[in-house]
Amino acid sequence: MNYGTTQYGINEEDNIDEIKLISPDLMKYMPDYYITSKVMKELEHSNSLELGRLNYKIKDIKNQLWIDTATWGLTYWENEYGIETNLNQSYEQRREVLKAKKRGQGTATKVMLKNAAEAFSGGEVNILEDNANYSFTVQFIGVKGIPRNMQAFINMLEDIKPAHLGYVFKYTYTSWDYLDNKSLSYNNAERIKWDEIEVYD
């Protein structure tokens, strides 16, 4: 199987219903005396499906031009930004890494680090500078708990931050006082896993 065409590309049989929807009705362009011809109907049906497949492939290729819609084309984006391809990650996880890396291009500033972290976590982030100690804190305030795919974020951060700066992460969790005010009784808490209580809202 060739990369980008079969194994990692679109599977036409899995998308035949969508292909049929974008296949043109060629019989309406034929003279009336062909309407009753079974041979002509079969021929035009076959031609119609081929045009549908062509339209589908054009649409699929266009989708690869943007990170948010790319699938098999994410590999080319990752190559462009120097990111190692990991096919075990979901498309969404790979897109997060790419968008964070894209936002992190250029001189590393507080705003650039904030934008990259927010692209990765999907929530609001504060960057707290500690210039005296040559470090900064990445504070995740829009997402409770540890954002998913943190190792990939750390790899990206190491790549874009100035080499002399250290950093730490600060996460947002739910306090017990907050839980008391939200009417989460002890009996209810017993049925919730610890990881779920940490981010309970």
pTM above 0.85, yes or no: no
Residue whose C-alpha is closest to residue 86's, from 151, 28, 19, 136: 151
As a whole number of angstroms, the distance between CA 100 and CA 156 comes to 8
Stated length of the chain: 201
Backbone angles phi, psi at 143, to 5 degrees: -130, 130
pLDDT the model gives residue 27: 84
What's the distance, CA 193 to chain centroid? 27
pLDDT digits over 101-153, tens only?
787 666 678 888 888 888 877 788 899 999 899 899 999 887 777 777 788 78
pLDDT > 70: percent of the chain: 77
Closest CA to 127 of 118, 146, 148, 119: 118
- Determine the pLDDT at residue 15: 80
Reading across the β-sheet that carries 135-144, which strands appear in turn? 125-130, 135-144, 166-172
List, for residues 183-198, the tens digit of each pLDDT value. 555 555 555 554 544 4
154-172 mean pLDDT: 85
Q: List alpha helices for the chain, DSSP H.
A: 16-21, 38-63, 74-80, 91-103, 110-121, 150-160, 176-181, 186-190, 194-198
Q: At residue 8, does pLDDT exceed 80?
A: no
- Closest by alpha carbon to 130, among 139, 120, 142? 139
